[in-house]
Structure formats: structure tokens, C-alpha cells
Structure 1
Amino acid sequence: MRIRQLGLKVRQLRAIMIGSWRRLPEPLSWQRGGTMPAGLIERMYAFQVYPREVEEIKGGQVTDVASLQGTLDTAFDQSKLDQGPGIGFNFSSVSRRHDVREFLLSVAFGSPDEALKAAEDLAFRLASSMDNRSNPSLFAVSAHQVQGMSSSRSIVLWTFPQQAVFRFSAGSDNAVIDLMDAFNRESNLRKAALFTGGSGRVDFLGGKVLDLQGTTSNKPAADFWVGKFLDAQLQLGTREGSRLLAKTLRDTHDKCRDDPGAQAQVHAAILGINSSDQSLFSLQDVEDRYFSGRAAEIFHNQVRSEPLRSSRFQLDESAFESQIHYRIYTLKTGVIVSVPLEAADTVEVVNGEEQRVLKLSGAIEEEKLRSRRG
């Protein structure tokens, strides 16, 4: 791949990116010292990307990014990208090694040469992910400060349809983009992604996406943005996903009350999840790893929606354990026994001919007498 470095003229790029927002008033927050949700621009790169054409991708670093801030503020605000659905990268192992994540970290925290190379690699990856059903695009990568967090950065990936409105001319040491009027009338932000974090091991594991084509009848052509290009999946929020997983496990356990073997699978799954060093979970991952037979069938039937089943999330241990920390036994005598899962091996359940019997022994640490209402 050979990428020709271009000194993109800010006036021309500004006209490209404002597109359908040109009638909206430009926000003054940046001029007054405020910032858009993604923050003040530190670095920006732009490329002309054609489907499957990777031999020569024209583009490079954009200079004088400050004059683009207002336009990007408006685009970001109108897109509501920061409120979009979450995604999580598809990691092949617990090492959190992922090509797109490495590119983003280089753009955010690398040297100028490393950041430029990473932006070029993202443009190359985008072109390789597109097929003939995809339209040529202006692809931009911007790195932003995060207000009040000096060690964090936000990266925004933007795509605008090209619609055959560019004419490129390049000299020996510079290049010019000639912009046709059609772009200003027809352009719109079609796809975008937002990632925010520091340079640590648990940062940049996922982000937010905008894909206006992903909900149309042209969905197969649009799926490349999240699936192929970003190599990610839709992701539940940390707390939401953790509570859903806990509820699914709890409901599965309750529905398997007549099957001790299936319940044992649920216990093993809970303990395995609590002790795992996985970075991301999904209901489908848990099913594949911990369940078989009837337990797998019951667990699967608790949540049938495929997007929810495959959506990945980071585990919120407190939210998870608050829903599922104890195993509760109610005896026919009215006695209620609450057993922490980590102490489950101190309780024995004996299957008799007509009923199951609980056997429990252990030294008493504390004894209280209280009314029925506590």
C-alpha cells in the first residue's frame, strides 16, 4: 500500500464536512473556551477511500485543525454519536490485543509519525472492508482532548459519502482537493465511531457507533462498519449487561430445581465468571463455555433476542453479585438457609426417594434472636 501525503486545505475540508449541517448555527462553545463532548481537536487525518482500492489511498494529516472545531462540534452534536449503541472489540484472547484498538491508541498517544501511520492503516483497513455495494467515502480520524482528564483522549472516526465530487491534483510537494458544489447539497454523515480512554490495559476496549445505513434494507452492505472494519459487536452497558447475565443465571437455576445436575452447571458458571480474567462477556459466550444439555437449553430460552445474546459487556462485579451472590434454601419446616456461593461446598443436598434433604454443619460464629419482621 502506498499512501500519498496530502496537505489538505482546511477551507475545502470544512466545506466537505459541514454537509447537511451548513444551515445550522455554528456553536460558540469552543470559541468561549468550552468543548464538544469529544473535546478540542489535537490531531486530524483525512483520506479518500474507494472500496477495495488499497494500492494508493490519497490523504494525510490535516493542518490548522482549530478552524475545523466549530464544524465538527455541529456534526458531533447533530449525530448524537455519544448516545449511540455501544460496541466491544472482538478479542481473540485475554491479552486485549486487537488491531483497531492498537491503531486508536497510536493515534491518541503515539508520536506524530506513529499517529499518522495508524491513521493510514485505518484508512487501508476501511477500504479493504468495503465491497462494491459500498460508496466511496471521505474518511477522517480526529483525536481530541478530554476536559478535566489530561491522561485521556477521545478518537472519532467519521465517514462522509464522496458521491464522485472530488477532483484531486497533486504536485511534487503538495496536493489540492477541488470540491464540486454537489457535495455541499448532498453530503451527510453516514457512519461514525467514538472511543474514549487512557493508555491503560482496560482502556479503549469498545466505544459508541453511528450507522445510519445499518437499519435500512441495505443492511448487508452496511454491516462492514461494525463487523468487518471495527471487528466489534454490539455491546451492552457494563451494569445493564451484568444484571442481565445475573438474572438469566438465576432464572435458569430456578427453572432447573428438579435437575441437580443442571443446577450444578449454573453454580459452576457463576463461580467461573467471578474468578475469570476475561475482559468481556456475552450471554452466548457463557452458554458455550459453561452449559450443555438441558441447562444450555433453559439458559438459552431466557433471552432469545440474538443482538442481546451476542452483545458484549464488561462485568460489573458489584451489580452481578448483588443479584446472585447467595443460594437460598427454604425448608418445609419454615427455616430459610442463605448460603454464599463461595461456601456452597459446605452444604450437602441428599436426594431421597420422595424429597431432597439439606445437610449443613459448621461452627457458629454469631447467634441472634429477632422478630419475624427483623
Structure 2
Amino acid sequence: MRLVHFHAFAVSASNWDEAPNIQGGRIQADTQIEALIAKNVQKAKFDNCLESVFETDDSRHNDMRELIRRHAFGDDNAADEAAKEISERLSVAMDNRSHPALLLIASEKDGPICQVSLWTFPRDEALRLINQKTASLQVLTDIFSQTSRLRKAAFFKGGQAKTEFLGGKILDLQSGGGPKAVADFWLADFLLSMPAIRPKAGTQMIAKALIQCAKETADLTEQQQLQSAAMSIRSGPKQKWSPKEVAENFFNADLAARFQSKFPNVATYNTSIEIDQDTYADSLNFAVYRLDSGVIVSSPFSEIGESVRITGTPEEGNRLSCEGRVVSQKVRSPNGVR
């Protein structure tokens, strides 16, 4: 990676009705600065840090995401303006409990890929002993600690496509590993982001939304759309789905709108979720049954245990019973033509 933009600001808390309390700007990087950035990135172990996603609207717009992308891919002037605005946003996001800090913003590039790291190091005090003919002691107040547990960081990486830079990695040692504590300041107030959805929790949300939609509709076409979506998620080659992708691939406009309403916000709806198949099967309880007669029965997940019932035991042999009024019938010829 080649360092393309580097900025540093001393930042203190300020209110919305006053000028942001910042000082600093572009730093001409040298080998020492590059080594400093590399060392801090390595020490942060971002692969083990909290995953985050920007809270975006349907056009994937997020103010901080745009500023970070501008710092990464813009020219010097664009990067300078973006860095200044990022530092101003940090000043406003901080409150009286926040320690004055040094904000570092570094953008590194390798071909079309850029990575951006943001750091805050809290102001500290230190003593310097000068031992010449007579010893003297200096109190240093304008220094910043790289080892303090109050330090914070964020890391983003990707290309210029609209589908990239949608989230990153968050370091916040004050969080105790819990996303709620992080979200109060660094993650939500400053980065305008939220914790990314874990596979199990995200899988449960998708399954729950499918079930709720199935229970709310009596339309056969929509039931078939829901069933197709459920089967594709369960057995298709695609391992990651965003709720929005599910809706766009399988649902009509009305069903898609109802499906979207089952999720807490647009960011969650747009977030790609790795499907946990065990959790999915347990949550959805969707099944396709093959009988000894050769008949195949596929049941909407909302009807298992209702109009579709399984009795008996595995040892004696399960038996399936299904009862209901026929409202539609489709016949296919052996070659698949209706």
C-alpha cells in the first residue's frame, strides 16, 4: 500500500452552536510516518474487531461514507476538505466527558483498492528529564498516547464502486466487547454507523420476516414467491443475501414493501447477511417431503403443523396428512410444458 493522503488534527469537544474546536491539517508523510501507520494497523488486529455498516438510505448515501471515500479517492484539495470536515464532525460528536484527542486520517492505495484508517489518541501528560550539567525537568502537555485504552480506530477498505465502502472494522477498547457501548459515541454519533449483523441474528431476521409475510397473505402467487425465496436461500449456491436482494429477486412490489417493513431500518435491509443454514432450518421449519408413493409435497413454512401435519415416529415411519380446499391447479407434461 502507498500512502496518498495523511492528515492530523488536535480535536476537543464543541457544541453545535459554536465553531468546531480543531487545529491541524495535511501532514507531509515520510518513512517514519508510514511505519507508524503500519504499526498501528498491525497492533489493532482489525480482523478481530467489531464489524460495522454505514446507516444508508436507498441510494447508499451516508455523509461519513462520502467523506471517507473522498479522502481515499479524491485529489489533494478534495482530501484536505474531507479531512477538515471529518475532524469537525468528531469535535461536535464529542461531549464534555470526551478527552481532547489527536485525530489521524490515513488513506493508502494499491491499484484500484484503497484503505482508510482513522485514529484518535487521547491527550496525555508526560515528564522529560534533561540531564546536562544540571538536571532539569519539563512537563509535556501537548502529547498524545498511542497505548491508552481511550484510543479508538476505524478501518475501511475497498474500491470506488457504489457497492464498496459500505462498512468497516471498529476498535473501541472502552466498549468491553459489546456493541451498545460503542454505538453511543464513536460508532453512531461520529461514524454514522451501526454494528453489522451477525450470521445467526441476521438469518433469524430473514426467516422471521418470511414467516410473518406468509401468515399475512392469502394470495397464492405471493405464497409461491415466498416459497421460492425460502427454497433458494436454503439450497441455492448463494451464501449471502441482503433482505433487499431477496425482495428484488422473488417478490412483487406489494410483497417486497411488506417484507421490508419487517426490518428495523434501511441499513439492515441493505446489509448482506451470511446465511447460517442450521439456524435458518430451525427458524423457518420449511420442508419438502417425498412419500413412498413417489408424491412430492412442498409446504409453505407457515402451514407446517397447521394444514400440513406429520404424525408417527421415525422408527415406525412418519406419516403426512394434508387437508384444504383446492383453489388452483397446474398440470405439467413430462417435458415440462404446461
Instruction: Tell me if both proteins adopt one fold, taking TM over 0.5 as the criterion.
Output: yes
**Letter matched to residue 59 of structure 1:** G
- Aligned residue for 1:126, secondary structure, equals helix
Q: Is 1:206 matched with 2:167?
A: yes
RMSD over aligned Cα atoms? 4.8
Q: Where does residue 355 of structure 1 map in the other structure?
A: 323
Counterpart secondary structure, 1:91: coil
1:152 aligns with 2:124: no
User: Per the alignment, do residues 186 and 197 of structure 1 end up closer, same or farther by CA in structure 2, a change over 3 Å counting?
Assistant: closer
Q: Is the 8 A contact 1:46 1:139 kept in 2?
A: yes
Query: Which residue type is aligned with residue 364 of structure 1?
Result: S
What secondary structure, in the 3-state scheme, does the structure 2 residue paired with 1:162 have? strand
- In structure 2, give the amino acid aligned to 1:225: W
Q: 2:288 aligns with which of 328, 332, 355?
A: 328
Q: What TM-score comes out, normalization by structure 2 length?
A: 0.64
Deviation per CA, 1:30-68, whole angstroms, max 9, x where unpaired? xxxxxxxxx342221000000116445111111133322
- Spell out, residue by residue over 1:163-187, the C-alpha distance to the aligned partner (whole angstroms, 9 max, x if none): 367xxxxxxxxxxxx9549756974
C-alpha separation in 1, matches of 2:85 and 2:116 = 15
> Which among 242, 246, 259 is matched to residue 290 of structure 1?
259
Cα distance in structure 1, aligned partners of 2:31 and 2:150: 20
Q: Shift of the alpha carbon at 1:70?
A: 2.1
Distance 1:266 1:192 in 2: 46
Q: 1:248 to 1:66 in 2, by over 3 A?
A: farther
Relative distance call for 1:121 and 1:312 in structure 2 (3 A) is same
| AA aligned opposite 1:152 | I
1:365 Cα offset (Å) = 4.3
Task: Give yes or no for the alignment of 1:274 onto 2:246.
Answer: yes
Alpha-carbon spacing, 1:288–1:143, altered in 2? closer, same or farther (3 Å): same
Scaled by the length of structure 1, the TM-score of the pair is 0.58
Q: Which has the higher strand share?
A: 2
Indicate how the Cα distance of structure 1 residues 240 and 195 shifts in structure 2: closer, same or farther if over 3 A, else same. Answer: farther
1:161 counterpart letter in structure 2: P
Quick check: 1:124 aligned with 2:88?
Answer: yes
Q: CA–CA distance in 2 between the matches of 1:214 and 1:287?
A: 36
Which of 95, 108, 112 is the matching residue for 2:76?
A: 112
Unaligned runs of 5+ in 2: 127-138, 231-243, 250-254, 302-306, 309-321
Shift of 1:131: 0.8
Provide closer, same or farther for how the CA distance between residues 89 and 263 of structure 1 changes in structure 2, counting only shifts above 3 A. farther
Compared CA separation, residues 102 and 135, structure 1 to 2 (3 A) = same
Deviation at 1:247, TM superposition (A): 4.4
Deviations 1:328-370 (A, max 9, x none): 36789772234999xxxxxxx99xxx93256541322448xxx
Whether 1:337 and 2:297 are equivalent positions in the alignment is: yes
Classify 1:287/1:129 alpha carbon distance in 2 versus 1 (closer, same or farther; 3 Å). farther
Aligned residues: 275
Number of the residue aligned with 2:7: 45
* Cα pair distance change 1:267/1:233, threshold 3 Å: farther
Cα offset for 1:232? 0.8
| Change over 3 Å in CA distance of 1:250–1:183 after alignment to 2 | closer
**Cα deviation per residue 1:255-275 (whole Å; 9 max; x = unaligned)?**
x6xx87599988767597524
Residues 141-196 of structure 1 show CA distances to partners (whole Å, capped at 9, x for unaligned) of 000124xxx1110000101111367xxxxxxxxxxxx9549756974562111111
2:135 aligned partner: none
1:108-150: CA deviations, max 9, x gaps? 111101101100100000011111111111111000124xxx1
Residue from 52, 66, 71 that aligns with 1:102: 66
1:13 corresponds in structure 2 to: none
Kept after mapping to 1: 8 A contact 2:83/2:105: yes
Q: Is the 8 A contact 2:121 2:148 kept in 1?
A: yes
CA distance in 2, matches of 1:164, 1:114: 34
1:159 and 1:263 map into 2 onto residues whose CA distance is: 56
